[in-house]
Amino acid sequence: MLNYLWAGMTLTGVLWGAFHGQLSAVTDGALQASKEAVTLCITMLGVMTLWTGVLEIAHRAGLVDQLSKKMSPVLNFLFPRLPPEGEARKQIAVNMIANVLGLGWAATPAGLRAMEELKKVEEMQKKSQNQTGARKAQPPGTASNEMCTFLIINISSLQLIPMNMIAYRSQYGSVAPGAIVGPALVATLISTVVAVIYCKIMDV
């Protein structure tokens, strides 16, 4: 769907420029945008590499395990059916911590690993329950409640310090890159509360 959307927007811009005799401006804009995209990617690559490294150091130092235990009340509330000492909970904790710090890109690897672990947990639970006849077999590829909850919470993403947004604003010359902190905190707090309420209502 997004491919069609972007293709349609690009085609519309080109046709509009051609209709108004501004094809040269369209070409210049495309070249300038490409240059800015490369520059921004290089900048954000440095930010992502730094914080991904910090999270990896924290994981190897045992800090992730400690934070996961500290987050047990939250994780128990959101994912009551997950094994307490499972790897899925650890990866979810890493992802949530990174998101709270506004490190969305650094949170992505942990989020992918969390989904993989949640899939393993779901497959084990399905196998056990199908053998006992506890529930009907679900079609392959059906997401579990835990997967859906994790995805929704990850998208809502409470952020105390939106590091990525501050980096974007700094890259584009904002006079006060940190001014986004307050509005981002309020917006993501509301979105996270709504997400949690929705997940609990739908978790049947």
Model pLDDT for residues 114-127, shown as the tens digit of each residue: 888 888 888 777 77
Query: What stretch of H or E contains 15?
Result: helix 2-19
192, 158 contact by CB (below 8 A): yes
Does residue 3 belong to any structural domain of this protein?
Answer: no
Residue numbers of the domain that contains 102: 24-202
Does residue 42 belong to any structural domain of this protein?
Answer: yes
The pTM score is 0.68
Distances (CA, A) of 20 to 9, 16, 24, 168: 17, 6, 11, 33
Q: Residue 173: its pLDDT value, please? A: 81
Does residue 105 belong to any structural domain of this protein?
Answer: yes
Does residue 92 belong to any structural domain of this protein?
Answer: yes
Q: Residue 190: its pLDDT value, please? A: 92
Exposure class string for 91-101: b at 16+ Cβ within 10 A, else e: bbbbbbbbbbb
Does residue 1 belong to any structural domain of this protein?
Answer: no
Question: Taking CA 130 as the corner, what is the angle to CA 127 and CA 136, rounded to the nearest 5 degrees?
Answer: 130
Does residue 142 belong to any structural domain of this protein?
Answer: yes
Does residue 2 belong to any structural domain of this protein?
Answer: no
Does residue 195 belong to any structural domain of this protein?
Answer: yes
Query: What stretch of H or E contains 168?
Result: helix 163-171
Q: How many domains does the chain have?
A: 1
pLDDT < 70: residue spans in the chain: 1, 104-105, 128-141, 204
Classify residue 153 by burial, with Cβ atoms within 10 Å: 0-12, 13-18, 19+.
buried
Q: Residue 133: its pLDDT value, please? A: 54
